[in-house]
């Protein structure tokens, strides 16, 4: 399979394509074709198989698995998993399997959740047509260029305002990192913008490195936290970020306060004071999205 961006159409119903839900931006659906970014997928080599990444938000097709190791649904997340893509003999269609399993992408009903089911050789509902819609993005991104001093990313006038106020400094380069367990073959994590964050309970106390994850085209290095062992008290979540290529964009972040999973380093600060779903509160997941432009 060529590294490129595709619409992935059901062979059983070609008007239905893989789609990121417009309601929660997480669930993967089979939905009526309209050609938007949430129906465009970058297919890229990943180990022994492929990763499938949404053009909409940079998240990868993955699985939501419960504590009993049962699959809840097919979703997009920051963590890629390996999919095997094999061609159906004598056709231009393909099957998409969860690596080292017999579970394949399955079309069940129009405009509904994508499912996984066991391979059946005579079934059309597990066949998919990859229609290339654009070349793959460059493998090597351009050099990171910090913003000029006092350039403000601002929240849009419509929708929920997550970014209230911000400053950016050209004097400080920052590197985002993610804390991962020592698992052989753990995936590289990508982050759409270089983000750094600290948590400051009040002006009398030093900042604590906060939990955060974002989507990007640049793989970020792993690192170990340094002495952050306790959950911070509930307060403002402060971020700083430097945009590196576009003058506008979309950012998505998620994590768990006090969980010790995602850590980003900070200098300058951007105050995120708008409503952040699920928190911020200790041991609760939080997510946020915001479209911003430079002014």
> What are the tens digits of pLDDT across the range 190-229?
332 333 333 344 445 444 333 333 333 333 333 222 222 2
pLDDT under 50 in the chain at which residues?
138-203, 205-295
Provide the pLDDT for residue 33.
96
Provide the pLDDT for residue 157.
26
Select from 219, 117, 221, 225 the least CA-distant residue to 177.
221
Burial (CB < 10 A; 0-12, 13-18, 19+), residue 176, is buried
Provide the pLDDT for residue 98.
87
Provide the pLDDT for residue 223.
28
Provide the pLDDT for residue 198.
38
Walk me through the domains of the chain, giving residue ranges and CATH numbers.
4-135 (2.80.10.50), 144-295 (no CATH)
The phi and psi torsions of 238 (rounded to 5 degrees) equal: -115, 135
Verdict on whether the full-model pTM lies above 0.95: no
Provide the pLDDT for residue 63.
86
Distance, in Å, from the CA atom of 132 to the CA atom of 25, rounded to the nearest integer, reads 23
- Measured at the CA of 129, the angle between CA 128 and CA 131, to 5 degrees, comes to 145
Provide the pLDDT for residue 109.
94
Distance, in Å, from the CA atom of 228 to the CA atom of 30, rounded to the nearest integer, reads 42
Half-sphere exposure of residue 267: CA atoms within 13 angstroms, side-chain side? 13
Instruction: Output the DSSP codes for 206-219.
Output: --EEPP--B-EEEE
């Amino acid at each position: 399979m060529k590294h490129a961006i595709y619409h992935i159409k059901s062979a059983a119903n070609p008007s239905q394509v893989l789609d990121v839900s417009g309601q929660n931006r997480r669930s993967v659906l089979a939905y009526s074709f309209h050609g938007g970014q949430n129906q465009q997928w970058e297919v890229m080599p990943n180990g022994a198989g492929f990763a499938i990444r949404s053009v909409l938000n940079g998240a990868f097709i993955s699985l939501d698995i419960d504590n009993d190791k049962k699959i809840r649904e097919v979703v997009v997340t920051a963590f890629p998993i390996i999919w095997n893509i094999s061609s159906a003999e004598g056709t231009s269609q393909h099957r998409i399997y969860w690596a080292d399993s017999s579970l394949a992408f399955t079309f069940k009903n129009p405009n509904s959740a994508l499912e996984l089911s066991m391979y059946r050789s005579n079934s059309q509902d597990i066949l998919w047509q990859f229609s290339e819609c654009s070349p793959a993005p460059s493998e090597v991104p351009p050099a990171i260029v910090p913003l000029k001093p006092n350039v403000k990313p601002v929240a849009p006038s419509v929708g929920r305002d997550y970014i209230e106020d911000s400053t950016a400094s050209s004097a400080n380069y920052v590197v985002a990192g993610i804390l991962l367990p020592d698992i052989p073959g753990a995936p590289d994590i990508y982050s759409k913008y270089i983000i750094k964050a600290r948590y400051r309970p009040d002006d009398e106390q030093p900042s604590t490195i906060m939990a955060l994850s974002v989507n990007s085209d640049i793989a970020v290095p792993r690192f170990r936290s340094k002495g952050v062992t306790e959950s911070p008290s509930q307060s403002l979540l402060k971020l700083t970020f430097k945009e590196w290529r576009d003058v506008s964009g979309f950012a998505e972040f998620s994590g768990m306060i006090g969980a010790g999973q995602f850590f980003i380093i900070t200098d300058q600060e951007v105050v995120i004071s708008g409503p952040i779903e699920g928190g911020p509160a200790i041991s609760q997941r939080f997510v946020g999205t915001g479209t911003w432009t430079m002014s």
